[in-house]
Chain A
Amino acid sequence: MASLPNGLPIVSDRRASPLPALGALVAGAAAVLGLLLAEQQWEVATLAIVGALALLIGGKLGWGEVIHRSATDHHRWITPVAWLTAALVIFGLREHNFELLMLCTVMLYMVAGLGLTVQFGYTGVVNFAAAAFMGVGAYTAAVLLLHTGLPHVLVILAGGLVSAVIGSVLLLPLLRTRGHYAALITIAFGILFRTFLEVNDTLGGPQGLKVPGMEWFGLVFNDAIEIDDETEWSFYLRYAGLCLVLLFFAYHFVRRLERSWLGLSLDAVRLDETAASAFGLNGAAWKIVAFSIGNFLAGMAGAVYAMVTAFIAPASFTFGDSLILVSIVILGGLGNPLGLLPAALIVVVLPEKLQVIQEYRFLLFAALVIAILLVRPGGLIPRRARDYFPGAGGR
């Protein structure tokens, strides 16, 4: 890099064009809509192939860098526009029940994935029980909705809090172990949780619980939305909006976390806890913080999931689901919140749409994760170097 005599780099004042970022946004929205609305198997297959090709060619041509520059230089309005686009996509699906439900699931898996990103991606704390922590949040919400008059927004928060508190039971063994052993502890917890639910009659046993819908200032989420005699909008539209709001807060929370001294400390714990301790860093404390934040996010996602699906059972929060969450995080790009979207779409929506692979979904995910780790070790959208403020540091 060229530099001035005082060692400061010469930074070009020319700002990148906003077009690549806008293009990526439009392509992304089109891909989401296309994938959700495709009805024929060949349509879905074509979309998947086009997506894979775009990734391969774009990777070779360095599109990622171009899009990143463009988005960074115009982040002030690109970010709001991106969220607006997401809202428009949801609104575009207003008459499609099933598609909205899938989109809700995608968004909630992304929220839980954000939790895993903090735990595993930043701090290096493994968690193979993310679905169980979603389950804790879901059952907390179910019980509170059935037996108390707590405002429903607080129910969602309570789901996160209880999940974080129950997660703290695992802290002691987790802090004393590392690697495989820590992984085993979380797996054991996940299985324990499911077994506990299955034998617990007050929580519905294996049959599960029916969960009342969300209400907010008199707005009943489960009511149909009748526009006129002909048109009726799906009641999932409101839930999709709720999921989007939750995702919005979770996403920006994790982004800001990463781009702060906190994120640096979490990274230091993952990369070299011993060296970090020589500079005064308390590894155990940071692991506790990260584990609790992650479980809090998973728990809130679970609470909303319970309301959206209106029914929860132990079978919704199995070890398999935890594995799916881990594969989303790795597939998308470990530590990059942005990668969660394509990964969650592939893992949640693709098998629903491609009936052929439905039965082989785990086989497919396993193959996909292995392929990604071989071809693109950083995931679909690899994590970038920390840019504390958009465009401030990294340039």
Chain B
Amino acid sequence: MSQELLVASALSVRFGGVRALDGLDIRVHEGEVLGVIGPNGSGKTTFFNAVTGFVTTAGGSVTLGGETITGLVPREIARRGIARTFQRLRLLLELSVFDNLMLGQHLSLDHGIVANLLLRGRLRASMTSHIESARHLLSYFSATLPGKLFEPVSALTMIDRRRVEVCRALIREPRLLLLDEPSAGMTPEETAELMRDLQKVKAERSRLAVILIEHDMDVIESVSDRCAVFDYGRKLCEGSYAEVSSDPAVRRAYLGVDDE
């Protein structure tokens, strides 16, 4: 059995009187893809926000590789190797694809005054290698995207933007990748393609763990090793796709099917 990477236990988040997360327990192992499904408002995105430090937790804990990360600010959590995408894309639209990817690389870049302002030759050399690796990563997702490295993101199609956002999260080789509904705004074919491309990257990074929030059950079925179903801020059930999709409670809450 591979190592446990992320352990969230009894995690709670409150917004005023609303319990957005209500004692949630989630475990993710290295190299695993965990699919998270659940109705709107069931706490899926709040779970991501709690793990990445964007909301303060009201109770419980999160550990990453054994180290407690509860209560840390987002940038400290990023430093420990968690990267995420956002449900509504949050790219820097007026900047180039390269600039956006380099934001993902922020913690690995040298921000010294001398390195940036005076040693321009060395900066240029390091930039060239970053351009190379950015093109390489993009080439997993699209044949044309590497050629658009210096185009503003605002000039890209929806699917290309989504790809850039996924690449921005992948570029610093995180230990855990959180994908918040990557299919939003895309056709099922485009989503399937994105997931296939992501699998190609994952195939080369055996320890990379992914948590995927998704409404599209086909996507969940095809890529996730395990599924967790959220409802009212709790985990309704957990298991393989087959187990979960046949669970009567899930069918009632999520799939909207009455069992007789």
B residues 154-186 near A (Cβ < 8 Å) are 168, 172
Q: Are B116 and A260 in contact (CB under 8 A)?
A: yes
Least Cβ distance of A243 to chain B in Å?
22
Instruction: Count chain B residues whose beta carbon lies closer than 8 angstroms to a beta carbon of A.
Output: 50
- Indicate if A22 sits at the interface (CB-CB under 8 A): no
- Indicate if B257 sits at the interface (CB-CB under 8 A): no
- Indicate if A192 sits at the interface (CB-CB under 8 A): no
Q: Are A277 and B75 in contact (CB under 8 A)?
A: yes
Least Cβ distance of A136 to chain B in Å?
23
Q: Are B127 and A257 in contact (CB under 8 A)?
A: no
Q: Are A3 and B95 in contact (CB under 8 A)?
A: no
Contacting residue for B139 out of A1, A7, A265, CB 8 A: A7
Q: Are A256 and B117 in contact (CB under 8 A)?
A: yes
- Indicate if B124 sits at the interface (CB-CB under 8 A): yes
Expressed in whole angstroms, the Cα–Cα distance for A57 and B83 within the complex equals: 47
B residues 60-106 near A (Cβ < 8 Å) are 73-75, 78-79, 83-84, 86, 90-96, 98-99, 102-106
Q: A3-B144, A7-B139, A276-B103 are in contact. Are A282 and B75 (CB under 8 A)?
A: yes
- Indicate if A253 sits at the interface (CB-CB under 8 A): yes
Collect the chain B residues with CB atoms within 8 Å of residue A280's CB.
75, 78-79, 106-107
Q: Are A7 and B92 in contact (CB under 8 A)?
A: no
Q: Which of A76-84, A177-185, A200-208, A386-394 contacts B (4 or more CB under 8 A)?
A: A386-394
- Indicate if B239 sits at the interface (CB-CB under 8 A): no
Collect the chain B residues with CB atoms within 8 Å of residue A267's CB.
92, 95, 99
Collect the chain A residues with CB atoms within 8 Å of residue B218's CB.
none
Q: Which of B6-14, B145-153, B201-209 contacts A (4 or more CB under 8 A)?
A: B145-153
Collect the chain A residues with CB atoms within 8 Å of residue B52's CB.
278
Collect the chain A residues with CB atoms within 8 Å of residue B127's CB.
388-389, 392-393
Q: Are A279 and B109 in contact (CB under 8 A)?
A: no
Expressed in whole angstroms, the Cα–Cα distance for A272 and B148 within the complex equals: 22
- Indicate if A374 sits at the interface (CB-CB under 8 A): no
Q: Are B103 and A268 in contact (CB under 8 A)?
A: yes
Instruction: Count chain A residues whose beta carbon lies closer than 8 angstroms to a beta carbon of B.
Output: 35
Q: A265-B106, A281-B103 are in contact. Are A8 and B147 (CB under 8 A)?
A: yes
Contacting residue for A1 out of B94, B109, B147, CB 8 A: B147
Residue of A nearest to B104 (CB): A279
- Indicate if A367 sits at the interface (CB-CB under 8 A): no
**Which B residues have a C-beta under 8 Å from some C-beta of A?**
52, 54, 73-75, 78-79, 83-84, 86, 90-96, 98-99, 102-107, 109-111, 113, 116-117, 120, 123-124, 127, 131, 135, 138-139, 143-150, 152, 168, 172
| 18 sample A-B contacts, Cβ–Cβ < 8 Å, listed by A number | A7-B139, A7-B143, A256-B116, A260-B123, A261-B109, A262-B117, A265-B106, A268-B92, A268-B103, A271-B93, A279-B75, A279-B78, A279-B105, A279-B172, A280-B78, A280-B79, A280-B106, A386-B95
Additional pairs, 20, CB under 8 Å, beyond known A6-B146, A7-B145, A385-B96: A3-B147, A7-B138, A256-B116, A261-B110, A261-B111, A265-B106, A267-B99, A271-B95, A276-B106, A277-B73, A278-B52, A278-B83, A279-B75, A279-B78, A279-B107, A281-B106, A282-B75, A388-B124, A389-B120, A393-B96
**Which A residues have a C-beta under 8 Å from some C-beta of B?**
1, 3, 6-9, 253, 256-257, 260-262, 264-265, 267-268, 271-272, 274-282, 385-386, 388-389, 392-395
